[in-house]
Chain A
Amino acid sequence: MAGRSKTRQTLVAWSFALPFLLLFVVFLAGPIAAAFVTSFTDLRVTDIKNPLSVDFVGIGNYLDVLGDQRFQKAAQNTAVFVLVGIPLTMALALAAATGLNQGIVRFRTIFRVGFYLPVVTSIVAIAVVWRLLLGSEAGLVNGILAGFGIDGPGWLTDERYALWSIIAMAAWRNLGFLMVIFLAGLQTIPGDLYEAAEVDGANRWQRFRGITLPMMRPTLLFGAVTTGIGYVQFFEEPFVMTEGGPLNATLSLALYGYRQFSFGNYGYTAALSFILFLAIALLTLLMFRLIRPAT
């Protein structure tokens, strides 16, 4: 009797899971597995209607990707974007969250909403606006600089500035998300810790170093990991703002992978995408090592 009702409950439970699972297997788990297999084959766009007839080429695609100069350039750009972008975004977000946590009452909602605004908007539309904003002649930024007598550079057309301009835009767009998370983290720190430190004569900076940062470690880790996963895959920004140029100065791994897909090199794209996946996993591991609370 008990066994029967147990079987029944299992059946009922799976009936709840079934619709999700069908879609999940066909459109998410299946494609991940298929991408992995494809990365060892010479699948091209011409095989699209008959994907099972391709030949296995072992790790040939991976060797091709790693030896490709454009891949190396894209990997270098992506590394700079991630390694500069994450700390920059986090520092700005922490500054904003700390500012908002100083017992500010007036205009609190306006600040919060204002800082969060760019997060909810389409990256593509934002990138279009920033491209015009940073335009070398009629752009607002250079217009303002000209008002101070400064001849602004071609922010997106000069090889030396293009990647940095895109990093600045990414930080601008994403800091609001981290700010909200950091603000929630700051508010869990007991106020008497600060009072005790104040009594002991610790100044503002010492209190920040000695209390805020250690107490915020788990929150900072979460922020670094989520931001990192997104930044490794940056794609829309160079697609819209620079098309990867000038001279591949802003070519990202995701954009390069998309291009190879457009050329029909599916096996190559799959290998590249798993290298990107591996990079995300390694970066996450690294951040856990760096920020993990000391045990």
Chain B
Amino acid sequence: MSTIAPPRELPTAGSGSKASPRRSRSGWWIYLPLVIGVILLVGPFIWMVLGSLKTTGELRQVPPTFLPQNPTLDNYAELFDRLSFARFFFNSAIVATAVTAGNVIFCSMLGYALAKLQFPGKRILFAVVLGTLMVPGIVTFMPLFVLVANLNLTNTHAGLILPFLVGAFGVFLMRQFIGGIPDELLDAARVDGAGEHYIFWRIVMPLCGPAIATLSILTFLGSWNSFLWPLVVANTEDMYTLPVAIALFATGQQETNIALLMAGSVVVIVPVLIIFILLQRYFTQGIAMTGIK
């Protein structure tokens, strides 16, 4: 599949539903399993947020309470005062931002070359890059660790960022999207004497808004949630990312303090949920853009 139509949006309520017209007269009963499903899927999040407002004593009560008896923000205060959650948050944010910027720039550049320029080795290059999509992360983390250790980058932000600045998925996505930009537009600029780098930065990139948005969100989330590599590279607390911090607290001495763990989970999850709810159409666009029909 070389080019792809502009991303199809999945139908949403209010956006003029494109759902097949058949069976529009469904009874209320179809809603019942869906409602139960949503409760099962969203319930744990609500329980987590409510739990983060309880004391450890209340969380240990049998039978468990659902609504907090005496809501308190003490857990959050402790996370940020006594444990350095502000630092972990900063580490996660800086790593995810740098990784996202790298993927957007480098993957778009290669995507442009693969989609719009002719050069020997193009097909092999694309095949090799795509081939790495199937390689599990567990294959690379050990040699990466040896490499990063020899560059003296363990326990640094650079060590956390560098290995993930480029990825096959971004190339695939950007190549697909840029392939859909009409050649006439680029040829017109070439006739006017514009160089390829000018064309790429001034014409192609500004047209790639939706693809860049999708790639940014997916890359940012992937980095924000990544665990194995930061676990291996961050040796001291000041370099922990949020998932590493919370996993080590959950399995270490803080294990018994379940109220803190609840609040910590909220700090990891809630920013992502807000991003997702605000920008949800880009998630489904991403799935449509990679060519799944």
Residue-wise, chain A 110-143 has the 8 Å CB interface mask toward B (1 for contact) of 1111111110111111111111110101111001
> CA of A233 to CA of B135 in the docked complex: distance in angstroms?
11
Selected contact of B143 from candidates A16, A17, A34, A49, CB within 8 Å: A34
Residue of A nearest to B165 (CB): A23
- Stretch of A66-74, A83-91, A254-262 contacting B (4+ beta carbons < 8 Å): A254-262
In whole Å, how far is A181's beta carbon from the nearest beta carbon of chain B?
Answer: 6
Chain A residues with CB under 8 A of B265:
125-126, 128-129
A121-B225, A233-B138, A261-B142 as given contacts; A180 in contact with B10, CB under 8 Å = yes
Q: Which of B21, B102, B110 has the most CB of A within 10 A?
A: B110
The answer to whether A115 touches B41, judged by C-beta atoms less than 8 angstroms apart, is yes
The answer to whether A222 touches B292, judged by C-beta atoms less than 8 angstroms apart, is yes
The answer to whether B273 touches A274, judged by C-beta atoms less than 8 angstroms apart, is no
Selected contact of A270 from candidates B24, B62, B120, B142, CB within 8 Å: B142
In the assembled complex, A3 has its CB within 8 A of some CB on chain B: no
Selected contact of B149 from candidates A48, A101, A172, A229, CB within 8 Å: A48
Residue-wise, chain B 245-270 has the 8 Å CB interface mask toward A (1 for contact) of 01100110000001001101100110
The answer to whether A16 touches B132, judged by C-beta atoms less than 8 angstroms apart, is no
> CA of A232 to CA of B106 in the docked complex: distance in angstroms?
30
Chain B residues with CB under 8 A of A14:
113, 119
Selected contact of A10 from candidates B17, B119, B292, CB within 8 Å: B119
In whole Å, how far is B223's beta carbon from the nearest beta carbon of chain A?
Answer: 11
> CA of A280 to CA of B135 in the docked complex: distance in angstroms?
9
In whole Å, how far is B44's beta carbon from the nearest beta carbon of chain A?
Answer: 6
Residue-wise, chain B 43-75 has the 8 Å CB interface mask toward A (1 for contact) of 011011001000000011111101000000000
- Stretch of B80-88, B179-187, B275-283 contacting A (4+ beta carbons < 8 Å): B275-283
Residue-wise, chain A 88-108 has the 8 Å CB interface mask toward B (1 for contact) of 000000011001111111111
A111-B38, A117-B42 as given contacts; A23 in contact with B106, CB under 8 Å = yes
In whole Å, how far is B276's beta carbon from the nearest beta carbon of chain A?
Answer: 5
- Looking at chain B, what size class is its interface with the partner chain? 35 or more
Residue-wise, chain A 70-83 has the 8 Å CB interface mask toward B (1 for contact) of 00000000000000
The answer to whether B109 touches A27, judged by C-beta atoms less than 8 angstroms apart, is no
The answer to whether B273 touches A233, judged by C-beta atoms less than 8 angstroms apart, is no
A102-B30, A138-B61, A181-B292 as given contacts; A132 in contact with B117, CB under 8 Å = no
The answer to whether A114 touches B261, judged by C-beta atoms less than 8 angstroms apart, is no
Residue of B nearest to A28 (CB): B132
Within 8 A of B (CB), among A9-42: 9-10, 12-17, 19-21, 23-24, 26-32, 34-35, 38
The answer to whether A101 touches B142, judged by C-beta atoms less than 8 angstroms apart, is no
Chain B residues with CB under 8 A of A128:
246-247, 250, 261, 264-265
The answer to whether A105 touches B17, judged by C-beta atoms less than 8 angstroms apart, is yes
Selected contact of A32 from candidates B31, B139, B164, CB within 8 Å: B139
The answer to whether B196 touches A12, judged by C-beta atoms less than 8 angstroms apart, is yes
In whole Å, how far is B93's beta carbon from the nearest beta carbon of chain A?
Answer: 14
In the assembled complex, B33 has its CB within 8 A of some CB on chain A: yes
The answer to whether B246 touches A124, judged by C-beta atoms less than 8 angstroms apart, is yes
In whole Å, how far is A126's beta carbon from the nearest beta carbon of chain B?
Answer: 8
Selected contact of A9 from candidates B20, B109, B117, B138, CB within 8 Å: B117
In the assembled complex, A183 has its CB within 8 A of some CB on chain B: yes
Within 8 A of A (CB), among B92-140: 102, 105-107, 109-110, 112-113, 117-120, 122, 125, 128-129, 132, 134-140
Selected contact of A109 from candidates B12, B19, B258, B262, CB within 8 Å: B12
In whole Å, how far is A24's beta carbon from the nearest beta carbon of chain B?
Answer: 5
> CA of A123 to CA of B118 in the docked complex: distance in angstroms?
42
The answer to whether A117 touches B247, judged by C-beta atoms less than 8 angstroms apart, is no
Chain B residues with CB under 8 A of A165:
none
Residue of A nearest to B38 (CB): A114
- Jot down 16 A-B pairs with beta carbons below 8 A, ordered by A: A23-B166, A24-B166, A28-B140, A103-B23, A104-B30, A106-B31, A108-B17, A117-B41, A117-B45, A120-B221, A120-B275, A125-B243, A132-B59, A140-B66, A191-B22, A239-B251
List 11 other contacts, CB 8 Å, given A16-B112, A266-B142.
A13-B118, A16-B117, A31-B139, A114-B37, A120-B275, A120-B283, A124-B243, A143-B62, A176-B41, A233-B136, A274-B139
A-B complex: 7 closest residue pairs judged by Cβ atoms = A13-B119, A34-B143, A16-B113, A31-B143, A114-B38, A143-B64, A125-B268
